[in-house]
Structure 1
């Protein structure tokens, strides 16, 4: 039985090679030629051939065994000895064993300097993803493996984060969407290779900038790395606004701060430093700018902190859109958010270095994607993990999980990785140690096996992956809800007022009904209403009445859901008011502004009269007011609340009854006359002295 399965596997591979189904693989991967030639021998002899695995998975495992310097049979023995029974379950065995081999091989491969530029390394990872999708030795998968020339999101999100520079658990899905935007949701090797080439160039650029003399006097103290520079090209200037002054210059972002160097005639002025690493209550947001302090162009970033007397605004002029501004806003916030995360959870030492490195790698990925998708604007916030956690529902829980993983690193070292060999992926810091001296961190990196514990584990979902999955599931609901919100937004003020009027119509009708009762338009209904509510208040049932109202609303919602299953949702129908021309719109705006000014003016008069009463500017009125307040205080002190509510209710709903209507009108007139006789407190208007910087 075993020999027949081997013969079948061998014949399938021979047919695939003969028919040219693997030509794309052999043509672009010459270093796999030997494996294909040896596979037939291995199957017939039984050496180094895992019967549970598909041919592609066997091919990848063979490569992993060569990297590790041990045979595939030894790898399988180690896995069987180290893995738990749940991981070795027959239905999961092939994929989990493949992950084990991949994680171990990648952990060793990333110890070679310059590995991102190694074509064999790039091709190996892509084939790991291919093999992960179809790991088991089933006949159907063998027959269809020649169709698998692209990679899906699950394989990418599982293997990609095993090399932290390629992806991480939090942003892997969003990264995959960007890479496959033009390839129908499947990752092609050509796109993947362009992405890794872009990453290699971004690393080289980071190394060149950080090793240059750029801002060396400022950066030497903290060993800051230069992540991005802008403003050196004449066609893409950066303008700094402070007050009404504007000056062109060069903007530099490091992993600790922002620097702006104003441009002189032939050189740059001394750099101004805007700190991102200390807790200075920084606020970084998009800003509008324009000539002479006007707010016209949405192309700037504002930096505000307690160390500055006024905000500093950096503008990124461009003809269309605000892509440059959005990119800089995202990467500046990423550095700010990672330092806030470090401060909040008090992360220090090696773990602090690794956390900061995660943010740096995220910025490098965005830079690589900008290269390969220059025609498509990127949503940078969704590709930077700390930006994304700030936006995702439950993002704070993701950060808490990440912090717990960092602070419990010691338990990972002693309990997990050392005890279970290659059951975990490699960490960012261990991976970056061989990318060059530019990634050298402030803390010494001990050569311990436990340090390489990463974010994913063989055959298991780590706590971080669970948090991310739950958060993204909630985020999908938020996106769906936001789509409904965007669908009902209208820009016309008249239409918005019409929609609001229609939505508030039930409340309006209820208000009209209560007013009709209060004005005793139907004496019988008003009498019944007052009697019922008087009885409820006297017996102390008011809280039960409100509770019954809420119960009625809940029951109504449940019944509506039950009886409306499968039916179309009732749409709100609004009669759109006739469209106005430009002049009518301007007049309507002017009228609205006039009404708002009148309301504010009347409100100020009320406040000034109350101030006059308080300060006894008009003694007679103040005396009457003081007596009224004293009586009210005595009533509230000695009369039970139940009776106070009863008195207020009866007074309000019997004011316009036939018996009290004449006296109510008389007292209302006297109260209005008294209010008009109260003078307003004096106001002295002083003009503030303008003290703005001018250059």
Structure 2
């Protein structure tokens, strides 16, 4: 009674004293409800003193949606939640999440919820309340058009509604939406995004219900995701060999269709299946007149079912945004089917995976309609594309596969018991939006888990995504150094490579000098010592000593140069090429050679960075690995080492080791990508300096 009395007095006092100035002016979405709670005896009774005014309003809305009282809400939470979740220090936010997730699980079953402005405002207000859940965090109610939400609140609430966001890409989605507003999301931008999402869904329904390609896609129930080439000002060109046709390009959730344009109609479509295991390769491609490679505006599709690759061009005046968009959505469907095959996903969960890919493409279309202030990469908003690029992306997919298997098991059990599923899925979301994709399942209530979200805790998928993003930041920093040391021109790259391999060249020259016996004494000593070492079987000790020396050198360099920048590689720049030489360099063979040289330089610069401890963590690992290798070489006889090498090479692709080999190969590649490159400075030649 004392708590109720205190609450009543506080509410009445705030209204009487005019603390809520919004009552005198433009009212917000909270105003009427808060006023009603202040005046109504039942409202004062249901007021939870642990929650902020905003959180109390949101909990009241959730209770109305579910048709239960706030007191019953709290009793259910206390009975279902663990002690750690109910701890007073975490109660406010966890109870708010519980109420929001349960209400969203029911609200998202309603058809056309995205078109309901009240639902849009509800989800946004949930984010606002999530940022200030406790009474101490928000003593007064302050909500207006200038109110904004941050990344953490968006990433917590949005994935609970599969149409709006998912765990893997929600951070990137928030960055795009809030790019022009200082990293905070306004309701106007959020609502514009949801309106765009609703339009994308309506377009998908209209296209899929049309008779377009009905004779070819009806058997699979394919959904048409995108169409291009219907406008004469934006044609789509298909190149096969030396032949080129304009036409219409259509992407479904199973295949890519190209219909060549005739005089008054379209020809029979060429079908490029993305769902079957045809060793498909989809990548960007260069095109140009008469076979020249000048314009980066095309996508190349290659598979074992085709005798030669197919190039699909998306002409545009500036840039290659249109091509990048199509490349991303084609790959998303391709990667989704690869994920299905790899983890042998069938039935309901197969449709669930395709639903995730479809919703990702719909969100990308909605973001494009919003017109973000800064450019963004389409693949960062698509789950399977992003997992292919992120370090540890395979671990995210493995976690997603385990969750899918778990949800399928729960669904089977719940269907057998008649209790329904405890979480809303992407497939159910599409079904509720009016887009049927296979069989769906009804959501009855969410409990403490909704989809990929858990009240008061992080799921295995969230942890995998978080770890991957942490690694990605390191890769970005390393990539920045790589982009900074890439130089243009064959002659310049040769000069850099010559400088980097100078010690190796000098050692090779010295060995050639000894082998030539120009100095008989030195050659005799070298031959005698080498022969004796090999005869006594000391070759392993010699290599161990060399590795040990390199490891000690790395450690000593790190200790001596700690905090100091890595010495730059000084390279004498060759004379600039004339016009004819530059034209010749454009040729395909020279371009490929230049790319190979760049990659070689980057590898050498990374090795230099490791030796000079430019990346201490990686250098320490290298030092430890070298010490471990030195120990093995010092202890094991040579025949056992050769045997291990033989087994390593010839058993890599065996059924027993194939999965582990792929995993470790990827780990090694990701680690290598995270290593920065040593800086390079190009200096003018002495002759050019004299001329100046």
With the length of structure 1 as denominator, give the TM-score of the two structures.
Answer: 0.78
Equivalence for 1:505: 502
Query: Does structure 2 conserve the Cα–Cα contact (< 8 Å) formed by 1:152 and 1:185?
Result: yes
d(CA) in 1 for partners of 2:56 and 2:248? 53
Query: Does structure 1 conserve the Cα–Cα contact (< 8 Å) formed by 2:430 and 2:437?
Result: no
Query: Does structure 2 conserve the Cα–Cα contact (< 8 Å) formed by 1:161 and 1:456?
Result: yes
1:288-307, aligned counterparts within 5 Å? 288-307=286-305
SS in structure 1 of the partner of residue 166 of structure 2? coil
- 1:467 deviation in Å? 1.2
1:37-436, aligned counterparts within 5 Å? 37-41=35-39, 46-138=44-136, 141-142=138-139, 149-373=147-371, 376-413=374-411, 426-436=424-434
Equivalence for 1:27: 27
Query: Does structure 2 conserve the Cα–Cα contact (< 8 Å) formed by 1:257 and 1:277?
Result: yes
- 1:41 deviation in Å? 3.9
Q: Deviations over 1:294-341 (max 9, x none)?
A: 333221112222222222222111111111111111111111111111
d(CA) in 2 for partners of 1:294 and 1:185? 44
Equivalence for 2:490: 493
Match of 1:456 among 443, 449, 453: 453
d(CA) in 2 for partners of 1:20 and 1:379? 44
Query: Does structure 1 conserve the Cα–Cα contact (< 8 Å) formed by 2:424 and 2:451?
Result: yes
d(CA) in 2 for partners of 1:423 and 1:82? 16
d(CA) in 2 for partners of 1:641 and 1:465? 47
d(CA) in 2 for partners of 1:543 and 1:527? 22
- 1:495 deviation in Å? 2.4
Equivalence for 2:568: 571
**1:539 is the counterpart of 2:536:** yes
Query: Does structure 2 conserve the Cα–Cα contact (< 8 Å) formed by 1:417 and 1:449?
Result: no
SS in structure 1 of the partner of residue 298 of structure 2? strand
Q: Deviations over 1:503-562 (max 9, x none)?
A: 112222333343444445655554544444344223211101111211111121122212
- 1:563 deviation in Å? 2.4
Equivalence for 1:656: none
The answer to which of 235-244 and 33-42 deviates more is: 33-42
Match of 2:438 among 430, 439, 442: 442
d(CA) in 1 for partners of 2:43 and 2:259? 70
Query: Does structure 2 conserve the Cα–Cα contact (< 8 Å) formed by 1:103 and 1:422?
Result: no
Match of 2:469 among 467, 472, 479: 472
Query: Does structure 1 conserve the Cα–Cα contact (< 8 Å) formed by 2:492 and 2:573?
Result: yes
- 1:586 deviation in Å? 6.2
- 1:34 deviation in Å? 3.0
Over 3 Å counting, the alpha-carbon distance change for 1:20 and 1:561 in structure 2 is farther
SS in structure 1 of the partner of residue 353 of structure 2? helix
- 1:137 deviation in Å? 1.4
- 1:491 deviation in Å? 0.6
d(CA) in 1 for partners of 2:477 and 2:340? 33
Query: Does structure 2 conserve the Cα–Cα contact (< 8 Å) formed by 1:286 and 1:298?
Result: yes
SS in structure 2 of the partner of residue 221 of structure 1? coil
- 1:59 deviation in Å? 1.2
d(CA) in 2 for partners of 1:93 and 1:416? 29
d(CA) in 1 for partners of 2:92 and 2:185? 23
Over 3 Å counting, the alpha-carbon distance change for 1:475 and 1:13 in structure 2 is farther
Query: Does structure 1 conserve the Cα–Cα contact (< 8 Å) formed by 2:102 and 2:446?
Result: no
Over 3 Å counting, the alpha-carbon distance change for 1:5 and 1:495 in structure 2 is farther
d(CA) in 2 for partners of 1:411 and 1:338? 21
Match of 1:514 among 508, 511, 514: 511
Over 3 Å counting, the alpha-carbon distance change for 1:6 and 1:417 in structure 2 is farther
d(CA) in 1 for partners of 2:24 and 2:267? 59
d(CA) in 1 for partners of 2:44 and 2:445? 33
- 1:101 deviation in Å? 0.3
d(CA) in 2 for partners of 1:532 and 1:584? 50
d(CA) in 1 for partners of 2:533 and 2:142? 77
Q: Highest Rg: 1 or 2?
A: 1
d(CA) in 1 for partners of 2:106 and 2:586? 68
- 1:376 deviation in Å? 4.6
RMSD: 3.3
Between the two proteins, the alignment pairs up a number of residues equal to 589
SS in structure 2 of the partner of residue 347 of structure 1? coil
Equivalence for 1:550: 547
Query: Does structure 2 conserve the Cα–Cα contact (< 8 Å) formed by 1:57 and 1:131?
Result: yes
In structure 2, stretches of 5+ residues that fail to align are 594-636, 640-692
With the length of structure 2 as denominator, give the TM-score of the two structures.
Answer: 0.78
SS in structure 1 of the partner of residue 201 of structure 2? helix
Query: Does structure 2 conserve the Cα–Cα contact (< 8 Å) formed by 1:103 and 1:423?
Result: no
1:585-604, aligned counterparts within 5 Å? none
